[in-house]
A = this chain, B = another copy of it.
Amino acid sequence: MIIIMKPEATTEQINTVVERIESEGMTAYLSQLDHQVTIGVAGDVQRLSTGGFNIYDGVERTVRVSSSYKLTSREFHPSDTIVEVGDLKIGEGHFVMMAGPCSIEGLDQIMECARIAKAGGATVLRGGAFKPRTSPYAFQGLEEEGLKYIRRAADYYDMKVITEVMDEANLELVCQYADILQIGARNMQNFKLLQAVGKTGKPVALKRGIAGTIDEWLNAAEYIANQGNMNIIFVERGIRTYETATRNTFDLSAIPVIKKLSHFPIIADPSHGVGVWDYVPAMAIAGVAAGADGLIVEIHPNPAEAWSDGQQSLNEKNYLNMMQQVDIMNEAMTKIREIKLV
């Protein structure tokens, strides 16, 4: 931690800060830079609140040196982590394709989605049984009935299931049916839920919050990891900005940033990232090019009849066309990875 004093800070004010630091059992290092005194703090600063120092007279601001997450950081674990979902591997070159509807609407619909998903090469079936909806009057999901349907469809087509868990109360139930627990964007900082999924040990797909910073996202993963669960998959799904031409602003640069700072895999969700189906294929392959370890996309046999997110769902024809593009892109990325190593 570095404390930057104001240019007009008095010696007395500086001494007060130094005394406080020393009273906490830490060491203060003073430098005079640009007409301002800066005070480096060495010791177990993790437990100090930066705010505590900002309050002292003469202090301009406080700068953190080290990040607050540990298990999630690449420093802690320099090589890529591969998340295993049964026999399926995700990360370090193991590309995963997840597809399915926004909501599970019935057994026929999810069976048909599974058929299409599988035909395009997906190995994980997505579908929501508990739906977080802005309005309480919108469709909230089929709940356990939906979970049964998606499990059945996935088993029939030999796929894994990813589905959202919204609260602790239903966690045990969701765990019975799901292979990967999805934490939705609105729950990225629902810390109690993060701890609870951490305790299950199950693979967790952690979506970035609607306005989550990358630093907060890494810290959210730390809530799961420090419960002993190292099966974390980051999901970039777009952030909220002023732009309205797309549903969110799809921040693909989060992919190289996360890969630099963390060892966990990261996949891209172009459906939520842009929110308009005809932009999805372009952004899916851009996500692969940016280095994503996989994709998750919304498909529907008949998007116009979808109970939710129809406008961002691909129909069979468009999904299969996109998957051909994804295959070409994955081939190109294999060659590109070789070049990077040179």
Contact = CB atoms under 8 A, between A and B. Distances in A.
| Residue picked from A214, A278, A336, most chain B C-beta under 10 Å | A336
Interface residues of A, number: 121
A84 interface: no
A260 interface: yes
A159 B254 CA distance: 34
Nearest to A63: B63
Contacts of A186: 189-190
A269 B281 CA distance: 21
A282 to B, nearest CB: 4
A93 to B, nearest CB: 15
Interface string A308-342: 11111100000001001100110110011001101
Each complex incorporates copies of this chain amounting to 4
Contacts of A234: none
A13 B13 CA distance: 35
Interface stretch (A29-37, A107-115, A118-126, A172-180): A29-37
A251 B244 CA distance: 12
Interface in A187-228: 187, 189-193, 195, 210-211, 213-216, 219, 222-223, 226
A86 interface: no
Nearest to A307: B49
Interface in A139-155: none
A81 interface: no
Interface string A222-243: 1100100000000000011111
A69 interface: yes
Given A7-B75, A289-B288, A246 B239 contact: no
A226 B33 contact: no
A264 interface: no
Interface in A38-66: 38, 40-42, 45-47, 49-56, 63, 65-66
Given A68-B134, A135-B219, A286-B286, 20 more contacts: A2-B38, A33-B40, A34-B45, A34-B65, A51-B312, A54-B311, A63-B63, A68-B137, A167-B192, A241-B249, A249-B249, A252-B286, A253-B273, A282-B291, A285-B336, A289-B329, A321-B342, A328-B332, A328-B336, A332-B332
6 contacts: A33-B41, A35-B66, A168-B168, A256-B279, A288-B289, A321-B340
